[in-house]
Amino acid sequence: MRNRKVKIEIDGITVSVTGLYHHSQQVRHGGLYFALKDGTYVPEAVQNGATVIVSQTGTVNNVPNGITHITVPDVRLAMSLAAKAFYGSVVDRMRVTGVIGTNGKTTTTFIMQHILEMATGKNVGVIGTTGVLNAGKTWEGVTTLTTPDPIDLHRAIACMYRNGVRDVVMEVSAHAIYYQKIAGINFVGVIFTNITQDHLDFFKTFENYKATKLGFFQNLQSGTVVINADDAYGLAVAEAVNNRPEVYAISYSLKHDAIIGTAQWAFVDQVVLAVHGSDFILGKAGACHLALTGLYNVYNAVAAALLANHYGVTWSVIKEALATMPSIPGRFNTYDIHGVTAVIDYAHTPDGLEQLLKNARAVLPTNAKLFVVFGCGGDRDRLKRPQMGSIAYRLADFVVLTSDNPRTENPETIIDEIERGIKTIDITTLQHCLEDGIAAKYTRIVDRTQSIEYALGHAQIGDMVVIAGKGHENYMEINHEKIPYMDSKVLDNILRR
């Protein structure tokens, strides 16, 4: 990722710029505007004060006289490198840790943050799905993308640096890799969690999505990589980095049959899961307690622990951090609703939902019932909808299909597509079915608030209701409008009754 250069051609005079923009309506006087597709919005950018236009060679031919026009072979790469330079390349003076994978990125970044803060006594910056944490406070200056666009990204990092932050842990999404948002950032450490299906609305095929994720490691020139050897693509990651002399690879396994030939490896034994925590033995570190539940969180914690230890953090500090790990917004957050355990979780992929429900089942008391309330996002990967319906129907005792950011789609149509996965299953093959008089094993309630109320109303003391998909989100997106909504507020209102 380092020493990237871009060949440019300049038509016009050299001028100083006051800011970088890629949205024409946001341009201010003296700004530099990146035309990412074509010249459609160049007139608006110029009208708003742009003095420099940057475009990809051959895509823009309507730049007015008197406006400097720079052409480059790759406009997105140029934007990333320009953003880094504009904000003083301060990212080069920071220790940046990246987390890559379909599931587990957010939890892993928060665990890594907690360990490093305990080790250094200083604030650690976090960039990811839940937003940007700058010097211990949520920063409202960027978009809600998992990995912000490069201008926002480097602006956030520069602000962190001014506030004394020297460690940054960030989620790296497949979109960020594809669009080269992270070009020019030298990652000191990278954690690979897993690759499962997601974002096929954008990448079209799983092969394209997988190739994008793996492409990051194929281009990585230096740093430490921690690899989940139990994932189907852990070996591919190891093969991508093992021949790089400046890359040090560490792998780990909970299954003991996944040795992938890295410089260092660790095995995890004797995992015990409970509702409010997990215990396990991690190699030479010995017994560890994690104040988060779920086998998937053991994977996340071990990855963060191994990288932190490679950074020089002692095992005593790491183990204390794991034992005191606070809950993570929207990640298996539990609530006691009149004797019923309600769980809010962001799981929104087939694998994420499957792992969530398996963990919920693992920590349920014997004979307790498992309910799940979930939907699928509109204008997104439609192929995962029936898969998630099938997973929920197989693993839960009762399923409530509902809305989850339908966007411009009809929520009933989305539920129809989820339901197709349910209808392929022979109910007589299922081990757990309710016997409390509910005629079907699932129902459909479009209104998400009503669906949660329905599930809690039918659950008995000791049962669990998993509310999946939205997690930390504070809105419901319908027809381009984000309407205030939070699953947690629905539970709070129920508790107040």
Tell me what pLDDT residue 439 has: 44
Tell me what pLDDT residue 73 has: 96
Tell me what pLDDT residue 429 has: 64
Using one digit for the tens of pLDDT, what is the confidence trace for 99-117? 999 999 999 999 999 999 9
Q: How does residue 140 score in pLDDT terms, banded at 50, 70 and 90?
A: confident
Please say whether the beta carbons of 344 and 471 come within 8 A. yes
Distance separating alpha carbons of residues 52 and 50, to the nearest angstrom: 6
Beta-bridge partner residues of 333: 344
**Both structure tokens of 365:** 């008391």
Please say whether the beta carbons of 69 and 63 come within 8 A. yes
Q: What is the pTM of this model?
A: 0.91
**Both structure tokens of 232:** 């189907």
Q: How does residue 406 score in pLDDT terms, banded at 50, 70 and 90?
A: very high
Tell me what pLDDT residue 369 has: 96
Q: How does residue 452 score in pLDDT terms, banded at 50, 70 and 90?
A: very high
Asked if pLDDT for residue 94 goes beyond 90, the answer is yes
Lowest mean pLDDT among 2-6, 165-169, 232-236: 2-6
For residue 375, give the DSSP letter.
-
CATH of the domain spanning 9-74: 3.40.1390.10
Candidates 187, 226, 192, 188; CA nearest to 306 is: 226
Is-same-fold flag (9-74; 333-496)? no
Asked if pLDDT for residue 180 goes beyond 90, the answer is yes
Candidates 281, 473, 300, 497; CA nearest to 375 is: 473
Please say whether the beta carbons of 464 and 368 come within 8 A. yes
CATH of the domain spanning 90-323: 3.40.1190.10
Tell me what pLDDT residue 136 has: 77
Q: What burial letters (b/e) apply to 408-436, b meaning 16+ CB within 10 Å? A: ebebeebbebbbebbeeeeeeeeeeebee
Residue 477: φ, ψ to 5°: -90, 115
The proportion of the chain whose per-residue pLDDT surpasses 70, expressed as a percent, equals 95
Q: How does residue 10 score in pLDDT terms, banded at 50, 70 and 90?
A: confident
Please say whether the beta carbons of 32 and 251 come within 8 A. no
Q: For residue 193, count other CB atoms closer than 10 A to its CB.
A: 23
**Both structure tokens of 216:** 């990051």
Distance separating alpha carbons of residues 56 and 365, to the nearest angstrom: 60
Q: How does residue 5 score in pLDDT terms, banded at 50, 70 and 90?
A: low
The proportion of the chain whose per-residue pLDDT surpasses 90, expressed as a percent, equals 88
Tell me what pLDDT residue 428 has: 62
Distance separating alpha carbons of residues 36 and 10, to the nearest angstrom: 17
Tell me what pLDDT residue 427 has: 67
Using one digit for the tens of pLDDT, what is the confidence trace for 274-289? 999 999 999 989 999 9
Domain assignments of the chain as residue spans, ordered by start: 9-74, 90-323, 333-496
Using one digit for the tens of pLDDT, what is the confidence trace for 62-89? 999 999 999 999 999 999 999 999 999 9
**Both structure tokens of 83:** 């953003």
Tell me what pLDDT residue 436 has: 46
CATH topology of domain 333-496: Protein-Tyrosine Phosphatase; Chain A (3.90.190)
**Both structure tokens of 265:** 């490896």
Please say whether the beta carbons of 153 and 83 come within 8 A. yes
Distance separating alpha carbons of residues 176 and 195, to the nearest angstrom: 15
Residue 389 CA to chain centroid, in angstroms?
22
Residue 143 CA to chain centroid, in angstroms?
14
**Both structure tokens of 162:** 């001014």
Candidates 345, 348, 392; CA nearest to 371 is: 392
Asked if pLDDT for residue 155 goes beyond 90, the answer is yes
Half-sphere exposure of 9 (CA within 13 A, CB side): 8
Q: How does residue 15 score in pLDDT terms, banded at 50, 70 and 90?
A: confident
What single string gives the DSSP state of each residue in 45-97? HHHTTEEEEEEETTS---PPTTSEEEEES-HHHHHHHHHHHHTTTGGGGSEEE
Beta-bridge partner residues of 246: none
Find where tokens 């038509």 sit: 11
Tell me what pLDDT residue 148 has: 94
Distance separating alpha carbons of residues 91 and 494, to the nearest angstrom: 46
**Both structure tokens of 166:** 């020297």
Tell me what pLDDT residue 434 has: 46
Burial of 336 (0-12, 13-18, 19+ CB in 10 A): exposed
Asked if pLDDT for residue 330 goes beyond 50, the answer is yes
Beta-bridge partner residues of 134: 137
DSSP 3-state of 286: strand
Lowest mean pLDDT among 252-266, 363-377, 447-461: 252-266
Q: How does residue 431 score in pLDDT terms, banded at 50, 70 and 90?
A: low
